[in-house]
Amino acid sequence: MRRDFDGVVVASPVSVPYARFSIETAQWWAGAALRGLTEASGISHKEMDGLSVSSFSLGADSAISLTQHFGMTVRYLDTVPLGGASATVSLRRAARAVQAGDADVIACIGADTNHPDSFRQSLENFSRFAQDAVYPMGSGGANASFALLTRNYMARFGATREDFARICVAQRDNALKNPNALMRKPLTVEQYMTARPIAAPVHLFDCVMPCAGAEAFLVMREETARAQGLTYARLTSAIERHHSFPEDPIQIRGGWAVDVDELYAMAGCTPGDIDVLQTYDDYPVIVMMQFEDLKFCAKGEGHDFVRSHDLRIGGDFPQNTSGGQLSAGQAGAAGGHLGLVEAIRQVTGQAGPTQVAQAKRAMALGFGMINYDRGLASAAVILEAA
């Protein structure tokens, strides 16, 4: 058993409202998030001695460049290039630094801009694997990759598009309560089923909407949060795992399945003790995999699970209460921060219209860095009310 996270807390969840397109830079969005952290915590950015940043669109900049842009002097610095897994990984690593006394207050920020053509350019330069092994074959981008994963999952386990619809429709219902969600119209199962195909079996509402935005939170010791008078959540467990199960020809499980028992053991809980779940949801098939890998149901039974549970805020299994990326939008690397920031709000009672009653324990998941037949990064954290 690895060392626990006793004494480490997370505070000051910040969301910079998303925009479909933006003329601002990623640096601007990250700065707006940092400003939000100072306003939410009362801690000057110059008093924060740690910075962790995740972004796809900073260009030549990294976290160290931002310290000069923002006038910060830090002793802990991290640039986390793990896409949708960045938030949970940033939290885990920042927590260890705080535990060790290497920093007192660490700002964790995910931020990206979205110019009219920047998403296409980002896909073209996503990874050397994509450039060398995928694009020459005439296939590129996440839609094609997740079509492969989805088709394989459906064929192997018997899931149907109607099952994926249950996830997407429930999350849209949740998003209607989130004033920052970009998708503001109700979604029905019929609308989901008749939506235009993108890369069969992936259709329109299986895909996230790229946008610009930022999410952020602070990591510190509990005594620091108390001294500042902050509302906070305790970090009780965290895992990360990369390039898991390479023997699987096409991905049907993520790295969570390797460390799931330790994840719950560290937190001293079971799957049944989780009050609200924030999955990483760039496509619904990955949501279903997370239900299975985190032992909410057995492998291959994700479709039965969604048929028998209500995933809405007021349901028996509330998940992605902000609407998730499928309905709130995917602000690049900030998309991986969306669920974690919402988890902090849930267990601290700050979620407002998306609040789940009596939410005392939340799990947030990360998944990222898709190449072609799998995502390479998986991570998870469990938070508890103080």
Which pLDDT tens digit goes with each residue over 28-44? Answer: 999 999 999 999 999 99
Residue 363 has pLDDT above 90, yes or no: yes
- Give pLDDT, residue 120: 63
Separation of alpha carbons 177 and 157, rounded Å: 33
pLDDT tens-digit series, residues 258-271: 999 999 999 999 99
Residue 125 has pLDDT above 90, yes or no: no
Question: Comparing C-alpha atoms, which of 344, 297, 327 is closest to residue 171?
Answer: 327
For residue 116, count other CB atoms closer than 10 A to its CB: 10
The predicted model gives 289-295 an average pLDDT of 98
Residue 147 has pLDDT above 90, yes or no: yes
Residue 210 has pLDDT above 80, yes or no: yes
Q: What is the pTM of this model?
A: 0.96
Residue 130 confidence class, pLDDT cut points 50, 70, 90: low
Residue 59 confidence class, pLDDT cut points 50, 70, 90: confident
Residue 124 has pLDDT above 70, yes or no: no
Residue 133 has pLDDT above 80, yes or no: no
**Contact by Cβ (8 Å): 245, 268:** no
- Give pLDDT, residue 144: 86
**Contact by Cβ (8 Å): 67, 74:** yes
- Give pLDDT, residue 372: 83
Residue 371 confidence class, pLDDT cut points 50, 70, 90: confident
Residues 58-65: contacts with CB under 8 Å, at least 24 apart: 58/26, 58/27, 58/30, 59/26, 61/26, 61/27
Q: What is the mean pLDDT of the chain?
A: 95
pLDDT tens-digit series, residues 220-250: 999 999 999 999 999 999 999 999 999 999 9
- Give pLDDT, residue 142: 85
- Give pLDDT, residue 2: 86
Whether residue 201 is preceded by a cis peptide bond, meaning omega within 30 degrees of 0, is: yes
Task: Please name the residues in contact with 246: beta carbons below 8 A apart, sequence gap of 6 or more.
Answer: none
The predicted model gives 303-324 an average pLDDT of 98
**Bigger pLDDT: 1 or 269?**
269
Residue 138 confidence class, pLDDT cut points 50, 70, 90: low
Residue 309 has pLDDT above 70, yes or no: yes
- Give pLDDT, residue 239: 98
Residue 132 confidence class, pLDDT cut points 50, 70, 90: confident
Residue 273 has pLDDT above 90, yes or no: yes
- Region of 243 please: left (phi>0), alpha (psi -120 to 50) or beta: left
- Give pLDDT, residue 176: 98
Residue 208 has pLDDT above 90, yes or no: yes
